Amino acid sequence: MKPFTLPQLSYAYDALEPFIDQETMTIHHQRHHQAYVDNLNAALEKSNETTTDLEALLQRISEYSPAVRNNGGGHYNHSLFWELLSPEPKHIPEGKLAEAIDSAFGSLENLKTEMKKGGLGQFGSGWVWLYVKFSGALAVSSTPNQDSPMMDMQSTNRGFPILGIDVWEHAYYLAYQNKRADYLEAFWSVLDWSVVEKKYEEALLKIK
């Protein structure tokens, strides 16, 4: 199979400052994400897997080793994370996504509160997600390590992620130290809602 590769960013490492600093972005992308890619390729080589569809692989991740689960999740999660960030983001969701957020959470501010609660409540390393359930409804959940709602071993919180916030310490510790709450607040300043809108539309098509 063709090896997975590290995606290139569409912006410079310093473009998200002061909200996410250049050194964190550089290390996070070049070292952490690259390691997930390298380790995923090595693990898949041992399993004789032939698919290059990462989503399809994650949807049946229970069939694979912990190495595939951890590194496949790491590659998928970070690839989504980089897409969501922008130095010139759209700050407010519109259209169908805005309507769905109001329906599920009452308001955008309530959604942000739920995401912050999920991020702070995740003990240790992990992620907090906004995702589309198989019913089509929006929901928020947190997962440990590099797990996500995409994976088939999630018993209750299954669906398609459209927004994920990395709450591993390597995502924020250089600038925010142990102040995860400050990082979770700053994240919204560089989140591009136009990307989340696109992911929402794509998720709705997948569940039809």
pLDDT of residue 154: 79
Q: Is the residue at 2 inside a domain?
A: no
What digits encode the pLDDT tens for the residues 7-25? 999 999 999 999 999 999 9
- Please check the confidence at residue 191 and state whether its pLDDT lies above 90: yes
CATH number at residue 102: 3.55.40.20
pLDDT of residue 114: 98
Phi and psi of 19, rounded to 5°?
Answer: -75, -40
3-state secondary structure of 78: helix
- Please check the confidence at residue 1 and state whether its pLDDT lies above 70: no
Average pLDDT score over the chain: 95
Q: Token digits for 204?
A: 């709705």
Q: Is the residue at 1 inside a domain?
A: no
Q: State what percent of residues in the chain have pLDDT above 70.
A: 100
Q: What is the DSSP letter of 185?
A: H
Q: Is the residue at 13 inside a domain?
A: no
160: Cβ contacts below 8 Å, ≥ 6 apart: 131, 132, 149, 150, 199, 202, 203, 206, 207
Q: Is the residue at 85 inside a domain?
A: yes
Rounded Cα gap, residues 133 and 186, in angstroms: 27
What's the N-to-C CA distance of the chain in angstroms? 30
Do the beta carbons of residue 84 and residue 163 sit within 8 Å? yes
Do the beta carbons of residue 200 and residue 139 sit within 8 Å? no
Q: Is the residue at 126 inside a domain?
A: yes
What digits encode the pLDDT tens for the residues 128-171? 999 999 999 999 999 999 999 999 987 788 999 999 999 999 99
DSSP H helices, the chain, are 22-27, 34-47, 54-58, 66-84, 95-105, 108-121, 173-176, 180-187, 193-206
Q: Is the residue at 61 inside a domain?
A: yes
| Domain with 54 in it | 21-208
The domain total for the chain is: 1
**What residues are designated binding site?**
28, 78, 166, 170
**What residues are designated binding site for Mn(2+)?**
28, 78, 166, 170
3-state secondary structure of 157: coil
